[in-house]
Amino acid sequence: MTVQTVRVGNVVLGEGRPKVIVPITGATADEILAAASTAISHEIDILEWRIDFFEGALDSGAVTSLAGQLAARLNGRPVLATFRTADEGGEKRIGVQDYVDLNLALIASGQVNAVDVEFFRGSDAVHTIIAAAHAQEMAVIASNHDFDATPPVGEIVSRLRAMQDMGADVAKLACTPHDVGDLLTLLSATWQMSVRYADHPIITMSMGRLGMLSRMTGAFFGSAATFGMVGRASAPGQIPVEDLNRILKLIGEWAPTGCCFRGCC
């Protein structure tokens, strides 16, 4: 299928090489700003601010203020704002309305370039956040994280399609493998989604050491981006960004013409 590209700041998802996203996970403003400065000294495309690690995460005023400081520190590098809830592996619990209000405040601030919205927060919450972001011409990544298992191929594809149908610009799914077969399930689902149903970019990964291969080669199967780490990992199996870039470049040099690493999938 023809995939519509998605712009996150000055980065375009869905064309060219897989984009590298690096999360920062500091607890204090000083830690977050220092981590951001360190991250952008590396070869990365998008910085993900994991707001749930921030000690002021439940105070929308503190969050938007720090978002402005972060934007000023990054010299134009795009920011993906993510409050990962405890239900999906994050650091904090938050009520649905507070979750919506926090995301709406970030969108209204204009200090971030994209927001992550958890697909299972409920359709009303998801639709509200997507509508507000699109009114500001801001991209939305809908996401789902399964830290217990890997769903069957059909279920993975179904969730990704549902995210797309709800209006998300990017559909993201991460799951946990218990054997190599689970890794293959995730990659197979990614391929099926990308060639049969995806009209926007998708991002998938299999977590932990067993799933590490998906972070390196996911683009072959249709995943538009991968997550690396600078310092502290935010999810199991993230690879140091220097190693990840080295691997991606090596694979890209040897990839056959027409594969995703050439931007033609």
**Tens digit of pLDDT for each residue in 224-239?**
999 999 976 666 668 8
pTM for the full model?
0.93
- DSSP characters for 176-239? --SSHHHHHHHHHHHHHHHHHT-SS-EEEEE-TTTTHHHHHHHHHHTB-EEEEESSS-SSTTPE
Q: pLDDT digit string (tens) for 122-140?
A: 999 999 999 999 999 999 9
48 is in an annotated binding site: yes
Q: Work out the average pLDDT over 159-174.
A: 98
Would you say residue 262 has pLDDT above 70? no
Q: Work out the average pLDDT over 257-262.
A: 50
Domains of the chain and CATH, by start? 16-253 (3.20.20.70)
SS (H, E, C) 161-182: HHHHHCCCCEEEEEECCCCHHH
Exposed, middle or buried, 3 (CB in 10 Å: 0-12/13-18/19+)? Answer: middle
What does the pLDDT read at residue 261?
46
CB count, 10 Å around CB of 211?
Answer: 25
Lowest mean pLDDT among 21-25, 133-137, 218-222, 252-256: 252-256
Would you say residue 8 has pLDDT above 90? yes
Percent of the residues in the chain that have a pLDDT greater than 90, as a whole number: 86
Residues 17 and 264: their CA atoms lie apart, in Å, by 10
Closest among 62, 117, 46, 47 to 85, alpha carbons compared: 117
223 is in an annotated binding site: no
Closest among 49, 105, 54 to 73, alpha carbons compared: 49
Q: pLDDT digit string (tens) for 30-46?
A: 999 999 999 999 999 99
* Catalytically annotated residue among 127, 172, 178, 200: 172
What is the phi/psi pair of residue 91, to 5°? -90, -20
Would you say residue 94 has pLDDT above 70? yes
Active site residue 19: no
Would you say residue 17 has pLDDT above 60? yes
Element holding 252 (H helix, E strand): helix 241-254
Q: Work out the average pLDDT over 133-159.
A: 98
Exposed, middle or buried, 29 (CB in 10 Å: 0-12/13-18/19+)? Answer: middle
196 is in an annotated binding site: no
* Catalytically annotated residue among 19, 127, 145, 249: 145
Active site residue 178: no
50 is in an annotated binding site: yes
b/e burial code for range 94-114 (CB count within 10 A of at least 16 → b): beeeebbebbbbbbebebbbb
49 is in an annotated binding site: yes
